[in-house]
Chains A and B, each alone.
Chain A
Amino acid sequence: MAQNLAALRVKIECDLLGRASAPFDYRERKFAETASIGIPEIDYLAGGLPRGGFTEICGPPCSGRTSFLLSALASRTAHAEVCVLVDGSDNFDPYSAQAAGVELKQLLWVRCRNIDQALRATDLLLQGRGFGLIALDLSDIPPKIVRHVPLNAWFRFRRSIEDTQTIFVVFDQEPNAKTCASLVLQLGSETARWSATIETSTEDSFAYPSACLLDGFDVRAEVLRSRVQKAVVAGFHLGFAPASIGGDTGIFRTKAVWNGSDNLLFEPQSKRLEKRE
């Protein structure tokens, strides 16, 4: 029996000669190089987005996926990388992207009409090589349809970007890529923040809608799966204390584009005191 196994092993090795160097050897996982996406909380939590790896960002509508996407695009295009957005349902807004700092000239936007077009376009782009980031946005495609994407499609995507410098990110409502994904982040929205203008900074400012401004909202991020080794990523500031609420969970804040300042105009007095302390 043992002799037969040994003979079989030798035969397989001979047959695969030139195609696989050592088919029975354990393939050591290479250290995934990661890239910052411009959100320190996510960089701290997940170690950044893996290059040559498959990242899946999922969450319901209004959970911060687009803010995440814009931040990633802004970060990569600022480094002169060529980025692609495969827009599954043509919902991308160039105005908010530019306000978020995305260099639109570095962005190839593929506006698809359905998921089939989006998957085929992604296939072509992954074969093209050389892109810094490829984002497949299936956020507004119903989960029932995305669930029907065969697993081999995700597997093919994963294999296509292996050993490349490309970051591949899929945005959808629930995790679908299973083990193909190197990093899966679940996003969920927390409270929305509204600020009042100077003239009407009263307790019941919501009674006067013209006196309010949408300031942004908080996003809770949870790591569902990660094969990425955390490393000190570029752009991480020393002394930063993430608003983490658990080992694999963190919270980050988005700000409306008209509120470019880091400080809220009207924070409650108690919160200001807390901050100083």
Chain B
Amino acid sequence: MAFASIYVPNFLVQSVVRAEAALRDRAIVLVDGNPPLEKVAAMSDAAARAGIQLSMTKSQATQFNGVEIRNRSRAQEKAAHAALLDLGWSVSPRVEDTAQDTIVLDLAGLASLFHSEENVANELLRRAAVLGLLVNIAISSNLEAAVNAARGFSGVTLIPAGEEAQRLGCMPINVLSPSLEVLETLDLWGVRTCAALTALPFLQLSERLGQEGVRLHELARGASQRSLVLAEPPICFEEEMPLDYAVAELEPLAFLLGRLLDQLCARLTARSLAAGAIRLRFDLERSPENNPRFSDGKSSGELALRIYEKALNLPVPMRDSKMLLRLLRLQLQANPPRASIIKIWLAAEPALQRVAQGGLFLPNSPDPEKLELTIARLKNLVGDSHIGSPELIDTHRPGEFRMSRFAPSRDEPLKNRKSSNLATGFRAFRPSLPLKVELREGYPARISFRGMRGEVVAASGPWRTSGDWWQEDPWQHDEWDLEIHFRFSPAIHLGRGSTCPQRGLYRIYYDVLRGNWFMRGIYD
């Protein structure tokens, strides 16, 4: 059985650089603490070479030229740690969450996929680079030896079984994370490497340093034994970015969203998953415009005004970051936030990836991703409620329907339609047109509407319907189908350039409760 340990050196800096790739080769300093007492918490190698030291104050660090100063971001550290775990799960289902910067994988059973442990290590390096992380990898049959080797040696380290003590010998003692007191004692003894520690007699060491001495001795020899503590895969993928300066414009916001989406999609790809839905949350800057009533205290109203949330439900799982960014941009254009943004939070609900292969005999249909983008654009044009698939409602009230999300079936052709059954089309007027009706012996004889007057030459009705009498808006209609011949010549022009038809088939109704006549539509 072999274990691979993945360690992210200088994790705090890497978690920031992962979100801002342009900083990778620059001198970067992370400061932590409350202003104005912020101190340097971490720095890149370039910053260390420039002379920056830990615990310097922020004002001291700003004296150095060419140094980028950023606030330490725990949200980005959390996201980087989640990405590290995703890297592990991309290769093995058995992963231990050892520390924020370290994970361990069980490599049992991977030989048939990768053929050798070296290939596993190289593949992990490649996938880590895709996720924006530079990592050290060590593979050993001993779990603790793998962890310590990854922390002590850069790049890839392969330790054959039985050679742990020999390979770990040159490693400094502080990699084993001893307590400060023990480290000072060992330093006084002149013991600074693992080889020097293993040379000490085991019994005497335990008498002088106690259980810690025993633990360090076993670790230095690569003989420590323990089981893997498995981590649970998350059910949601999250990325977060606090902003140093509030963002008000869509363009810079889209740039930041693009970065977060790239990271999310890389994590989903690492797990062979796709996003079924994207949830977006912005923390908004507090300003008089978005918070006019609540100046002090934190009520739910205030919280609602300071947070902007959106959900993007996708018709098919997708992980194309550019496509997702376009969809989010369209949503934001339609409903922009009411204030500047100071923090971005993005989450993807994972779903299994769509199977692309369709039936050979199915008709062409739009690409689901493209279709979603087209619908999003159309929603911006005509409004959310004016696009979709019509869905009939189980009621007798005339003209009732609702718009549902358009999700066409991609199955086999539904049926062979009988060609002889050509239904008469009907066009509905929304809202119904008011009209004047002259009755003769209780039947419509003449009608006038929109400046047109016509004689009824044939009529069918009344067809009485009513319902919802138990609700606030009951209805009771007497419907008529009429064939009308208009008196005016067809050439006459009405308002807005319409022409008057010579004849027509209309459906009108008398609203018994309102006592008025209306035109419901025309047969066409």
CB pair A66 B499 closer than 8 Å:
no
By DSSP majority rule, is chain B's interface helix, strand, loop, or mixed? mixed
CB pair B401 A65 closer than 8 Å:
no
CB pair A214 B422 closer than 8 Å:
no
Given contacts A80-B362, A94-B390, A121-B381, contact A209 B408 (CB under 8 A): no
- Bound together, the chains give a CA A259 to CA B505 distance in angstroms of 16
Tell me the B354-411 residues at the A interface (CB within 8 Å): 362-367, 370-371, 374-375, 377-378, 381-382, 386-392, 399, 401, 403, 406-411
Chain B residues with Cβ below 8 Å from A210 are: 460-462
Size of the chain A interface, CB-CB below 8 angstroms: 87
Given contacts A80-B363, A90-B430, contact A40 B419 (CB under 8 A): yes
- Bound together, the chains give a CA A113 to CA B416 distance in angstroms of 35
Most buried by B among A39, A95, A235: A95
Q: Does A129 contact B (CB under 8 A)?
A: yes
Tell me the B459-512 residues at the A interface (CB within 8 Å): 459-462, 480-481, 483, 490, 496-499, 501-505
CB pair B382 A79 closer than 8 Å:
no
A189 smallest CB distance to B (angstroms): 7
Given contacts A78-B416, A165-B364, contact A100 B423 (CB under 8 A): yes
Size of the chain B interface, CB-CB below 8 angstroms: 71
Tell me the B421-452 residues at the A interface (CB within 8 Å): 421-430, 443
Q: Does A144 contact B (CB under 8 A)?
A: yes
CB pair A128 B366 closer than 8 Å:
yes
Q: Does B417 contact A (CB under 8 A)?
A: yes
CB pair B497 A142 closer than 8 Å:
yes
Question: Considering only CB atoms, which chain A residue lies closest to B459 in the complex?
Answer: A209
Given contacts A60-B501, A66-B427, A96-B423, contact A145 B523 (CB under 8 A): no
- Bound together, the chains give a CA A129 to CA B373 distance in angstroms of 12
A254 smallest CB distance to B (angstroms): 4
Q: Does A265 contact B (CB under 8 A)?
A: no
B-contact bits for A93-120, CB 8 A (1 contact / 0 none): 1111111110111111111110001001
Question: Considering only CB atoms, which chain B residue lies closest to A254 in the complex?
Answer: B424
Given contacts A66-B524, A173-B499, contact A110 B386 (CB under 8 A): yes
Given contacts A108-B406, A109-B390, A143-B497, contact A80 B427 (CB under 8 A): no
Q: Does A82 contact B (CB under 8 A)?
A: yes
Q: Does A159 contact B (CB under 8 A)?
A: no
B432 smallest CB distance to A (angstroms): 12
Which listed segment binds B: A11-19, A68-76, A268-276? A68-76
CB pair A252 B429 closer than 8 Å:
no
CB pair B496 A142 closer than 8 Å:
yes
Pick from B365, B391, B521: contact of A130, CB below 8 A: B365
Given contacts A60-B501, A91-B428, A255-B424, contact A120 B370 (CB under 8 A): no
Given contacts A75-B417, A130-B366, A213-B460, contact A110 B423 (CB under 8 A): no
- Bound together, the chains give a CA A117 to CA B499 distance in angstroms of 23
CB pair A108 B387 closer than 8 Å:
yes
- Bound together, the chains give a CA A40 to CA B419 distance in angstroms of 7
Chain A residues with Cβ below 8 Å from B407 are: 105
Tell me the A210-251 residues at the B interface (CB within 8 Å): 210, 212-214, 216-217, 235, 237
Q: Does B37 contact A (CB under 8 A)?
A: no
Chain A residues with Cβ below 8 Å from B428 are: 91-93
Chain B residues with Cβ below 8 Å from A65 are: 425, 524
Q: Does B414 contact A (CB under 8 A)?
A: yes
A80 smallest CB distance to B (angstroms): 4
Q: Chain B residues in contact with chain A, CB under 8 A?
A: 362-367, 370-371, 374-375, 377-378, 381-382, 386-392, 399, 401, 403, 406-417, 419-430, 443, 458-462, 480-481, 483, 490, 496-499, 501-505, 521-524
> Lowest 10 A-B CB distances belong to which pairs?
A66-B425, A144-B497, A130-B366, A142-B497, A100-B423, A94-B390, A66-B524, A67-B425, A96-B426, A209-B459
Q: Chain A residues in contact with chain B, CB under 8 A?
A: 36, 38-40, 60-71, 74-75, 77-82, 90-101, 103-113, 117, 120-121, 124-125, 127-132, 139-140, 142-145, 165, 173, 189, 192, 194, 206, 209-210, 212-214, 216-217, 235, 237, 252-257, 260, 262
Residue contacts A-B, CB under 8 angstroms, 11 given? A65-B524, A78-B413, A81-B365, A94-B392, A105-B409, A130-B365, A131-B366, A139-B524, A192-B458, A217-B523, A254-B424
